[in-house]
């Protein structure tokens, strides 16, 4: 990519990783919806809403990849498979585990999105716009789930720590794929 500014190359890499992450998020909610029917029926409308948001986010990054002529991140399918397993398992564990998973994932994602916006700045307005367009809904997912988890117990904190570490790892892998 000689002649292409490094900030544009970096923005493309970020868009690829975010696209894969949004695919993972769609699959987390799909797995949770599949099993929440058994253990957390009351969360089904919220999970469907969150999944719709993540599908829109994935579409935003997909359009940006297409516009740039970039392929998907090689971690795309890993994010999807891992996300579905995470969603399925936390859904089986019930409403508190669903909330703990969402808080843990969104805490990491929001930190990364904010770092990306600082990193890209004004160098790539399209990437900045794509990332900025999803921050509000990601914050909503975090805040609503944190409210559902007001009195987190030890198991909720353990689940959250493990999921946060896994989310960081998947992002790290994606940035190198």
28-52 tens-digit pLDDT: 999 999 999 999 999 999 999 999 9
What integer pLDDT is reported at residue 67 of this predicted model? 95
Question: What CA–CA distance (Å, rounded) separates 150 from 96?
Answer: 10
Confirm whether 162 is domain-assigned: yes
Please determine, for residue 4, whether its predicted confidence score (pLDDT) is greater than 70: no
Instruction: Give me the number of domains the chain comprises.
Output: 1
Q: What is the mean pLDDT of residues 1-17?
A: 75
Secondary element (H or E) of residue 121: none
Question: What CA–CA distance (Å, rounded) separates 42 from 32?
Answer: 12
Q: What is the mean pLDDT of residues 56-80?
A: 96
What integer pLDDT is reported at residue 1 of this predicted model? 46
Give the closest residue to 28 by CA, choosing from 47, 46, 11, 3.
47
Q: Write the CATH number for 141.
A: 1.20.1260
Q: Cα dihedral sign for 46, 52, 54, 56?
A: negative
Confirm whether 161 is domain-assigned: yes
pTM for the model: 0.92
**Domain that residue 43 falls in:** 6-176
Confirm whether 1 is domain-assigned: no
Confirm whether 91 is domain-assigned: yes
What integer pLDDT is reported at residue 153 of this predicted model? 79
What average pLDDT is seen over the chain?
92
Please determine, for residue 5, whether its predicted confidence score (pLDDT) is greater than 80: no
Other Cβ atoms less than 10 A from the Cβ of 42: the count is 9
Q: What is the pLDDT of residues 115-164, one digit of tens each?
A: 999 999 889 999 999 999 999 999 999 999 999 888 767 887 888 889 99
């Amino acid at each position: 990519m000689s002649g292409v500014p490094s900030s544009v190359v970096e923005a493309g890499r970020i868009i690829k990783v975010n696209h894969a992450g949004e695919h993972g998020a769609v699959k987390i909610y799909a797995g949770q919806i599949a099993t929440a029917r058994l253990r957390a029926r009351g969360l089904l409308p919220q999970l469907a809403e969150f999944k719709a948001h993540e599908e829109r986010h994935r579409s935003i990054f997909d359009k940006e990849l297409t516009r740039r002529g970039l392929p998907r991140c090689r971690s795309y399918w890993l994010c999807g498979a891992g996300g579905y397993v995470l969603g399925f398992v936390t859904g089986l564990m019930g409403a508190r585990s669903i909330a703990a998973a969402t808080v843990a994932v969104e805490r990491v994602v929001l930190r990364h999105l904010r770092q990306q916006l600082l990193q890209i700045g004004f160098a790539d307005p399209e990437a900045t716009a794509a990332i900025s367009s999803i921050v509000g809904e990601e914050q909503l997912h975090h805040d609503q789930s944190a409210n559902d988890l007001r009195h987190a117990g030890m198991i909720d904190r353990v689940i959250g720590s493990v999921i946060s570490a896994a989310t960081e790892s998947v992002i790290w892998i994606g940035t190198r794929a």
